[in-house]
Amino acid sequence: MTTTLSIVIDRGDNQMATSFLVWAKYRSFPMTDGDGVFVGEIEIAASETSVTTTWDTPNGSANWKFIVAPKHQEQVGVFGQLESA
């Protein structure tokens, strides 16, 4: 059985990210990139302040936690945790 989660990422004030790298881990936050499952690189338009995407969990559970890093061109910023709703 597949569980689909919605992921909402807000771009911070004065942030120039053109995309976000998202990682997920079952039951605990990933510690860094490569820890857990790579969800994907989520693009965001210059005019948008947030972006929403969906992700099908690999084990059918909704108990996943996420980290996200802003990316501008080839520069990757500091990872932050995404809280689940």
CATH number at residue 46: 2.60.40.10
Q: Mean pLDDT in the chain? A: 89
How many distinct structural domains can be found in the chain? Answer: 1
pTM for the predicted model, two decimal places: 0.84
In this structure, the chain runs to a length of 85
Q: How far apart are CA 52 and CA 59, in angstroms?
A: 21
Give residue 70's domain range: 4-82
pLDDT digits (tens, 9 = 90+) for 41-66: 999 998 999 999 999 999 999 999 99
